[in-house]
Amino acid sequence: MAGHAAKTPVCVLGLGLIGGSVLRAAAAAGRVAFGYNRSADGVNAAITDGFDATAELDTVLQRAAETGALIVLAVPVPALPTLLDHVRRLAPNCPLTDVTSVKSAVLDDVTAAGLAEKFVGGHPMAGTAHSGWPAGHAELFVGAPWVISVDDHVDPTVFAAVLDLILDCGSVAVPARSEEHDAAAAAISHLPHLLAEALAVTAADVPLAFALAAGSFRDGTRVAGTAPDLVRAMCEANAPQLVPTLDRAMELLAAARESLTADGSVAELANTGHAARTRYDNFPRNEIVTVVVGEEDWRRELAAAGRAGGVIRSALPVRDSR
């Protein structure tokens, strides 16, 4: 479609909270947007709301192949291999992205399906505790960071197409390598889930605790309200990164326990914890504008910029080397 002004169509596979919101946001941005959902309930709800949806996976993928659509995988990790098998058979040349909360495991699945060349992973850092089509809305991603992968295999043209969708959804893009994303997600999302569960269990054992519980307990256990299946899916798919992160947190707690027992002091953890949180409060957010997608070292430069707090707020120049 070179020289054509129309934006790349979007084909969303899985019309739950996230996929349903991507479909709405892409349509709101003026794109041709259509989707597939496994359950008829989700499909009917989407159609009733005026969107283009079907429960026929093969039909939707044929249409994606014919229109050169950007395919968005928006299902849980365990559902990916089957879906990727269909994509490989029916739409292997379409640009491909995902919204999954782990990145290395998904890249492995995509590579196993032989689709890595067309794939640039993504992860919108937005969501709610609700699920399914009715929970979604077009503004879900506005202002939120959305990770875009800059792994070694990433193609400049596919990267630009995925970035364009992220910006159309109102998000800011944060470039990151898959394994770095997963290490960060283990620390800022998956560990907090496990700590929240442990905190809730600990308090539940203390007779008067719930009667007195206030802000600290509410904030510290908020994510323990998440459906156990979702917590398991996130944490278990990221085990290689979560295990060393848990080790680190347990090491810190063990040291605090030891010094509290021996010297009556938690000074070390209180001081280092406060200092780390202060660094977070002052963390810079700069706009990335100087990197040219497709030029030598562009992936490494973007990964470094993302690590330093850089975000992409508008399209970057692209130089396709092919």
> Please, what is the minimum distance in Å from the beta carbon of residue 77 to ligand NAD?
6
Q: 68 or 132, CB closer to ligand NAD?
A: 132
Which residue type does 71 have? I
Q: Is 158 in the site for ligand NAD (CB under 6 A)?
A: no
Annotate each residue in 34-53 with x if it binds ligand NAD (CB under 6 A) or - if it does not, as one string: ---xxx--x-----------
Q: Is 176 in the site for ligand NAD (CB under 6 A)?
A: no
Q: Which residues of 84-119 are buried (b: 16+ CB within 10 A; e: fewer)?
A: bebbeebbeebbbbbbbbbbbbbbebbeebebbebb
Residue labelled with tokens 């060349």: 117
Judged by CB under 6 A, the residue of 18, 53, 113, 115 near ligand NAD is 18
Q: 94 or 316, CB closer to ligand NAD?
A: 94
Q: 205 or 229, CB closer to ligand NAD?
A: 229
Question: Segment 60-99, which members bind ligand NAD (CB under 6 A)?
Answer: 74-76, 79, 99
The DSSP line for 197-227 is HHHHHHHHTSTTHHHH--HHHHHHHGGGGS-
Instruction: Note every long-range contact of 258-263, with CB atoms under 8 Å and residues 24 or more positions apart, other chains counting.
Output: none
Residue labelled with tokens 């850092």: 125
Annotate each residue in 118-157 with x if it binds ligand NAD (CB under 6 A) or - if it does not, as one string: ------x--x---xx-------------------------
Dihedral angle computed from the Cα positions of residues 41, 44, 46 and 51, in that order, rounded to the nearest 10 degrees? 160
By the criterion CB under 6 A, which residues form the site for ligand NAD? Answer: 14-19, 37-39, 42, 74-76, 79, 99-101, 124, 127, 131-132
